A and B are shown apart, each in its own frame.
Chain A
Amino acid sequence: MNSCKSIRELIDEADNPNLLPFEVSQHVDACRDCERFSAERAGLRNLLGSGARVTAPMNFDAMLAARLAETRNRGWLSWLVPANYFRLGAATAGVTALVLVAQYSGIFSSNLTQSQQATAPATKSDQSERTRSAQPVADGGVVADNHRQPQRVTPVVIGQRIGSGRLAAPTIGRGRARETVSSDDLGVVLVRGQNGGSDVQMPTVSLGAQPLLYVSAGKQQPVRNVGASF
């Protein structure tokens, strides 16, 4: 014997509420609640289905033909309707906003990537750089090292000329200078007579806004209007 719940589901799902399957009819005859449920459902479905059906108006086809002709005429110009103008404007505004956000977040900035590339190896080889920078500068007093990475250096005093145009080995100063030198600290030092008259880039150590040094045959002279080291 089916339960009332399953019988009511079958009543609900029946295509015709007045023509129920045999097992449902059998149960309904014996169960007062299901009989009442079946009668209510049949009455409701008859009520919903018995309402006068509206029909399309007489001029439906003519109106449809006119609208269809209008749709066809719009054709490829359909995107010019005001709604599409609005969509195009909204899309343009969205793209502009994205570009601005990207610009201000630094995605297009090449400086950021360079500094990121420069800092990464510096942190890895910090110890080795520190060791290397503690070495005295090579003979000749000219440092042609143009490493771009920040490095720890010790102040260097350019050596005096010692015969036949050679410079004495530079001495390591006792005073503590700035611990790190960035790429901005690189300056141009002119060493006349030592490099065939060519300019050589070398790192300089500056304590504050000092002028660059002009080295001429081992003599230090302040540079005239060359600029500060930073």
Chain B
Amino acid sequence: MTAVTHQAQAIELSGSRSIEAANDHELLAAIRDGDEVAFQELVRRYRNPITNFVYRMLDDYDRAVELSQETFIRVYTSASRYQANYSFSTYIYRIATNLAISELRRRKRRKMVSLFSPYTNDDGEAVEMDPPDLNVLQDEALIANERRHAVARAITSLPQKYRAAIVLRDVEGLSYDQIAETLKLSEGTVKSRINRARNLLKEKLSAYI
């Protein structure tokens, strides 16, 4: 990869080009020089994908927002250590993935119990307590809502190592090599994990396919 110095990128950014036209590496170089506008632009580009990714990993919107903010704080504070060896999207997804996995491990240690599934059936699986929603919904919206819940439940039931790979691939649409870089795995391992995750999801979501 062509080694372009960050200083040169920063000079280029401060020149005639607008900040919207700058690529991620140029923005990082500007952030390193204390450019707040460049950081805002970077946040604008990635806040929705990162929030959505963490939400799919955790199935908890409020926590997903907190962790995506934490992701951007880490990008900001470690901008001076960033090396443009690979794409910035890989870098930021790696930070978000690590935060989400740490959160999942923390939850596993605490054995968090959902208020909606405090009971288990004979097989030990959580049985969701679904309080009735008195709002009148159209059939399409009702089905879509149910499908969305089923997908979210199926994803969160996956083992942690499969979950990150399948969300990055089928929800976020990253390529195999980007996922491999993000998760620090070989491409073969990523393919294997995605294949197994899809096989597991196929069984859980067979009614919706």
Contacts of A71 in B (CB 8 A): 73, 77
Least CB distance from A211 to B in Å reads 72
Bound-state CA distance A68–B3 (Å) is: 30
For window 1-60 of B, CB contacts with A under 8 Å fall at 40, 43, 47-48, 51-52, 55
A55 pairs with B175, CB closer than 8 A: no
Do residues A48 and B73 form an inter-chain contact, with CB atoms below 8 A? no
Interface residues on B, range: 35 or more
Contact B170 A48 (CB under 8 A): yes
Q: Which residue of A lies closest to B191 (CB)?
A: A13
With A44-B202, A45-B170 in contact, is A53–B48 under 8 Å at CB?
yes
Interface code A1-23, partner B: CB below 8 Å = 1, 0 otherwise?
00000000100110100000000
What 0/1 readout, one digit per residue, does chain B (87-99) give for beta carbons within 8 Å of chain A? 0000000000000
A12 near B194 (CB under 8 angstroms)? Answer: yes
Contact B201 A54 (CB under 8 A): no
Considering the complex, give the chain A residue whose CB is closest to the CB of B171: A48
Given the complex of chains A and B, what is the CA–CA distance between A48 and B70 in angstroms?
26
The listed residue with most A CB atoms (<10 A of its CB), out of B48, B170, B208, is: B170
For A67, list chain B residues within 8 Å (CB): 69-70, 73
Q: Is B82 on the interface with A (CB-CB < 8 A)?
A: no
Q: Establish whether residues B73 and A68, one from each chain, have CB atoms under 8 Å apart when the complex forms.
A: yes
Q: Once the chains bind, are B191 and A12 in contact (CB under 8 Å)?
A: yes
Question: Complex Cα distance A9/B194, Å?
Answer: 11
Contacts of A61 in B (CB 8 A): 40, 43, 47
User: What's the Cα separation between A49 and B194 when bound, in Å?
Assistant: 14
B137 CB-CB contact with A under 8 Å: no
Residue from the list A43, A45, A54, A68 in contact with B61, Cβ < 8 A: A54
Judge whether A15 and B69 touch: CB under 8 Å: no
Q: In the docked arrangement, what's the CA distance between A9 and B69, Å? A: 37
Residue interface bits A51-94, CB-to-B below 8 A is 1, else 0: 11111110011011001100100000000000000000000000
Q: A141–B2 Cα gap in the complex (Å)?
A: 92
Encoded as 1 (CB less than 8 Å from any A CB) or 0, chain B from 172 to 205 comes to 0101100000000000000100110010011001
| In the complex, A40 has a CB within 8 A of chain B | yes
State whether A63 touches B198 (Cβ < 8 A).
no
Collect the chain B residues with CB atoms within 8 Å of residue A64's CB: 43, 69, 72-73
Contact B64 A54, beta carbon cutoff 8 Å: yes
User: Within 8 Å CB of B198, what residues of A?
Assistant: 12, 41, 44-45
3 shortest interchain CB distances as A-B pairs: A43-B209, A48-B170, A56-B47
Show 20 residue pairs from A and B whose CB-CB distance is below 8 angstroms, ordered by the A residue: A12-B195, A12-B198, A13-B191, A15-B175, A44-B198, A44-B209, A45-B170, A45-B198, A47-B205, A47-B208, A48-B171, A51-B171, A53-B48, A56-B51, A60-B65, A64-B43, A67-B70, A67-B73, A71-B73, A71-B77
What residues of chain A have their CB less than 8 Å away from a CB belonging to chain B?
9, 12-13, 15, 40-41, 43-45, 47-49, 51-57, 60-61, 63-64, 67-68, 71
